[in-house]
Amino acid sequence: MQEFLSRMIGRKVDIFCGGASSLRGEIIKVEGGVLHLKDDEQTMCFVAIEKIAVVWEAREDEKRAGFVSGALNNR
Kindly report, residue by residue over 40-64, the tens digit of the pLDDT: 888 999 999 999 999 999 987 655 4
Query: Any residues with CB less than 8 A from the CB of 57 and at least 6 apart, and which?
Result: 8, 11, 12, 13, 14
Report phi then psi at 54, rounded to 5.
Answer: -140, 140
More confident call, 74 vs 22: 22
- 14 burial class (0-12, 13-18, 19+ CB within 10 angstroms)? middle
Mean pLDDT on 32-47: 93
Domains and CATH numbers, the chain: 2-57 (2.30.30.100)
